[in-house]
A = this chain, B = another copy of it.
Amino acid sequence: MAVYTEVSDEDLKAFAAAYAIGEIVSYKGIAEGVENSNYMLQAASGTFILTLYERRVDPADLPFFLGLMEHLARAGVPSPIPLKGRDGQALRTLCGRPAAIISFLSGMWPRRITVDHCAALGTALAGLHRAGMSYALRRENTLSVAGWRDLYGRTGTAAETIEAGLGKMVAGELEALAKAWPAPGALPAGIIHADLFPDNVFFLDGKCSGLIDFYFACNDFLAYDIAICLNAWCFEPEGAFNITKAHRLISSYGAVRPLAPAEKSALPILARGAAMRFLLTRLYDSVNTPPGAMVKPKDPREYLKKLNFHRGVTDLSAYGLS
């Protein structure tokens, strides 16, 4: 839930005048997303999303993100399209923050995940990866192995507060991941979404109608994106891993972009890494979210459990692979 920046109607009118979208007749803060301020805009010409980029987004990365959305949308991925103003620019400033208007996508993100959602997700993710191949810009994944160590150093005593001995376990696991992580070039790489949680995927009439929130997108192993999705989509609310969901996700993905044997073999370590990445950001947020921030910090324990599941995987059949 997030609206960090309160935009006045005068400021919004002046901002919107740079675009050919007609008069703004309404705007309402959206209680979704935790990184940026988002407003739903009603203009004479239709509905749009206005995003003000808050401190977690590096302004230097915005041309990469906005360019990527446009590239993907042109390639047929159901991603939002950044609107260009009359000056040809998609990125400008509102209330002292970088801001952009993007197209509105119909559809609803699933609160209860079904195996069919996982299948549609796999197809959409592979489509995103294929379309990303021709994107010219690059962005390193700052939240991969090296970034995790740095992030862990900034979580203070959060791990120990959550569970005695957790700090030592995380430190050990970080070392193990650094040793076992695939070397650059070992696996197919390209543009990944890197944050494709259910609230970033819209469905309409059973079909995937929208992929949003590309503000963690970067270049990394494509299979790492699958690993992130395995964590975000295939665990049941009570914590059990649903092999059928994993199987449908991976096989639907593979029908669009077949997975190399090396990618399949790497899934357990990639899934451990993906679980570590979200465990660490949640640990970080648990100690760095000020009270009254109007964002409920997510529970790090959820990702600790997921990490432990993947640490116990000895065989790809755990993911529904033969």
Which A residues contact B (CB, under 8 angstroms)? 1-3, 6-10, 12, 24-32, 40, 42, 47, 104-112, 202-204, 291-292, 294-296
Query: Closest 3 CB pairs between A and B?
Result: A29-B31, A8-B111, A31-B31
Q: How far is the CA of A6 from the CA of B198 in the complex (A)?
A: 14
Q: How far is the CA of A295 from the CA of B292 in the complex (A)?
A: 7
Contact B291 A294 (CB under 8 A): no
A274 to B28, CA, bound (A): 28
Q: Are A32 and B42 in contact (CB under 8 A)?
A: no
Given contacts A28-B30, A112-B8, contact A1 B294 (CB under 8 A): yes
Contacts of A112 in B (CB 8 A): 8, 10
Cβ A30 vs Cβ B27 within 8 A: no
Q: Report 23 cross-chain contacts, Cβ distance below 8 Å, ordered by A residue.
A: A1-B1, A1-B3, A1-B29, A1-B294, A2-B31, A3-B31, A7-B111, A9-B108, A9-B203, A10-B111, A25-B106, A26-B105, A26-B107, A26-B202, A27-B108, A28-B30, A28-B31, A28-B40, A29-B32, A30-B31, A42-B47, A291-B291, A292-B296
Contacts of A104 in B (CB 8 A): 26
Given contacts A294-B294, A294-B295, contact A106 B42 (CB under 8 A): yes
Once the chains bind, are A9 and B111 in contact (CB under 8 Å)? yes
Q: Which residues of B contact A108 (CB under 8 A)?
A: 9, 12, 24, 26-27
List chain B residues, Cβ under 8 A from A30: 28-31
Measured CA separation A9–B109 after assembly (Å): 8
Minimum C-beta distance from A191 to chain B (A): 26
Query: Across the interface, do B1 and A31 meet the contact criterion of CB distance under 8 Å?
Result: yes
A236: min CB distance to chain B, Å: 15
Q: What's the nearest-Cβ distance from chain B to residue A34, in Å? A: 11
A27: chain B residues within 8 A (beta carbon): 108
Shortest CB-to-CB span from A58 to chain B, Å, is: 24
A35 CB, nearest partner CB in chain B, Å? 14
**For the complex, what is the distance from the CA of A91 to the CA of B203, rounded to whole Å?**
28
| Most B Cβ at <10 Å: residue of A3, A26, A104, A112 | A26
Q: Shortest Cβ distance from A105 into chain B, in angstroms?
A: 8
Taking the closest CB of chain B, its distance from the CB of A118, in whole angstroms, is: 16
Q: Which of A2, A104, A202, A292 has the most CB of B within 10 A?
A: A292
Min C-beta distance of A95 to chain B, whole Å: 11
State how many angstroms separate the Cβ of A270 from the closest Cβ of chain B: 30
With both beta carbons as reference points, the residue of chain B lying nearest to A7 in the complex is identified as B111
Q: Chain B residue with minimal CB distance to A2?
A: B31
- Chain B residue numbers with a CB within 8 Å of A294 are 1, 294-296
How many Å lie between the Cα of A24 and that of B40 in the bound state? Answer: 17
A28 touches B24 (CB 8 A): no
List 19 extra interface pairs beyond A9-B110, A25-B204, A26-B108, CB under 8 A: A1-B3, A1-B29, A6-B111, A9-B109, A9-B203, A10-B112, A25-B106, A25-B107, A26-B104, A26-B105, A26-B202, A27-B108, A28-B40, A30-B31, A40-B40, A47-B47, A291-B292, A294-B294, A294-B295
